[in-house]
Amino acid sequence: MGGCLVVSELKGVIALVVVALIATSCAEDAGDTTAAGSASGGECAEIQELIDATAAMLPSERETFLLKKAIEDGDNVSLYTELNVRDVDEIIDIFEETYNVDVDLFRAGSEDVRLRVLEEAAAGFRGFDLIEIEALDMTIIDQKGILAPASSPYREGIIEAGLFDNFTADRVTYLVPVWNTGIFSAAEAPQSFEDFADPLFSGQLALEDSDVYWFAVMVQHFVEEGMTEEEAVDLFKTIAANSSITSGHTATLELLIAGQFGITPNGYSHRVEEFKIENAPIEWLPVNVPVVAEITAVAVACSAKNAAGGMLLEDFFLNPDTTQAYFVSVNRTPANAAQQAEAFGPGGADIVPLRGDVSAIVEDFQKWDDLWDEVVRSG
């Protein structure tokens, strides 16, 4: 949210990319499904040849074939991602050590990555080989014809909700209430989402400002439970009026740990578990409000400069023996169905998370984005 300035991190070098759109045109571009710069069949020809050539191969054969081709192409693999610095650096290090193929990194928030990709596509610039962002932003990009068909053999192990034609879930994030245990006990934490509107929490609430998908899914849930949409949105506005607006989920939890705020309604459960290992005074269990599951996915660019390298890195993200196993080790929830049982998540708390219809939300993206802006401005 909040304009079109993208801050990137490229192997430790800070670069500023000014996206030449005003905020309103950014939102319009996000919702428009007929973009200039859509990939043509010709641009997809090279990667389609690779997909066809590897279709009948075993994973190990595909790996050998793609690695040979990636090295022959000579270009580094370009990765655009929203994954946090620690985790993406570790994954890149393992990939580079395994294959001796270098990765160029652009890291920013999911929305900022999406805006950069749309700008590059409109300018005819071939930026990323592999992208890893939230499914909502990925769907917007996919509607521009920018993504190649998903072809990884490791899709067979991915949860059904994470399988899309041109992208594949690599991890799932749960959005939950989180509180500072030195300020609120579990009994004092909200017993329903409506409790966040209680003046008791005024001055103690921190509302993270980027969660359009969470907001849309929650509003739809409340409508299904009997509220009107206007009532559900007004509830969020009342909660925002109780809140200080923050940016960044990790930063918000750090503010809670420091005692600057007492509670947030939209924290990441896996980050709480990581902080708890360090004896941080925060908790998210028990959960008494709806939990939203947010899917993050990977996709290869239709016009990738190093198509084989992009496909190789896509497989690396989805392979249960590499990145999926790494996600388990750092308390993230992988998209591999079998490994989700090993990961810590709401399943352990007998919670059935809400999953929204990403495509339907994207169809009304302008509406949801505008409504969320209204909520944030209420803070």
For residue range 126-153, list pLDDT tens digits in order: 999 999 999 999 999 999 999 999 999 9
User: Do both 316 and 355 map to the same domain?
Assistant: no
User: Do both 342 and 371 map to the same domain?
Assistant: no
Q: What is the mean pLDDT of the chain?
A: 88
Report which residue type is found at 346.
P
Domain that holds residue 76: 5-170+296-348
Of 127 and 42, which is predicted with more confidence?
127
Q: How many angstroms separate the Cα of 256 from the Cα of each of 237, 253, 271, 351, 353? A: 21, 5, 12, 24, 24
Domain count, the chain: 2
What are the backbone dihedrals phi and psi of residue 13, each rounded to the nearest 5 degrees, phi first?
A: -95, 125
Q: Tokens for 352, please give them.
A: 């059935």
For residue range 354-379, list pLDDT tens digits in order: 999 999 999 999 999 999 999 999 99
Q: Tokens for 110, please give them.
A: 């999911």
**Residue 363 host element (H or E):** helix 358-363
The dihedral built from the CA positions of residue 203, 209, 212 and 217, taken in this order, carries a sign that is negative
**pLDDT given for residue 7 in this prediction:** 32
**pLDDT given for residue 346 in this prediction:** 54
The dihedral built from the CA positions of residue 99, 104, 108 and 109, taken in this order, carries a sign that is negative
Q: Tokens for 17, please give them.
A: 């990319």
Which of the four pLDDT bands, split at 50, 70 and 90, describes residue 352? confident
User: Do both 289 and 344 map to the same domain?
Assistant: no
Q: Tokens for 277, please give them.
A: 């290992």
User: Do both 275 and 336 map to the same domain?
Assistant: no
User: Do both 355 and 263 map to the same domain?
Assistant: yes
**CATH number of residue 243's parent domain:** 3.40.190.10
Report the 3 state secondary structure along 326-343.
HHHHCCCEECEHHHHCCC
Q: Tokens for 293, please give them.
A: 């599951």
**pLDDT given for residue 331 in this prediction:** 86
For residue range 63-93, list pLDDT tens digits in order: 999 999 999 998 999 999 999 999 999 999 9
What does the longest C-alpha to C-alpha distance in the chain come to? Answer: 63
Percent of the chain with pLDDT over 90: 82
User: Do both 186 and 301 map to the same domain?
Assistant: no
**20: pLDDT strictly greater than 90:** no
Provide the 10 A C-beta neighbour count for residue 77.
Answer: 30
**2: pLDDT strictly greater than 70:** no
User: Do both 144 and 200 map to the same domain?
Assistant: no
Which of the four pLDDT bands, split at 50, 70 and 90, describes residue 200? confident
Q: Assess contact for 269 and 250: CB atoms under 8 A.
A: no
User: Do both 25 and 140 map to the same domain?
Assistant: yes
User: Do both 212 and 103 map to the same domain?
Assistant: no
User: Do both 303 and 280 map to the same domain?
Assistant: no
Q: Tokens for 288, please give them.
A: 């008494």
Distance CA 169, CA 150 (A): 11
Across 23-48, average pLDDT:
50
Q: Assess contact for 167 and 142: CB atoms under 8 A.
A: yes
Please name which of 263, 258, 278, 254 lies closest in space to residue 331, comparing C-alpha atoms: 278
Percent of the chain with pLDDT over 70: 87
For residue range 304-344, list pLDDT tens digits in order: 999 999 999 999 999 999 999 999 999 899 999 999 877 75
User: Do both 280 and 321 map to the same domain?
Assistant: no
User: Do both 129 and 207 map to the same domain?
Assistant: no
**pLDDT given for residue 98 in this prediction:** 98
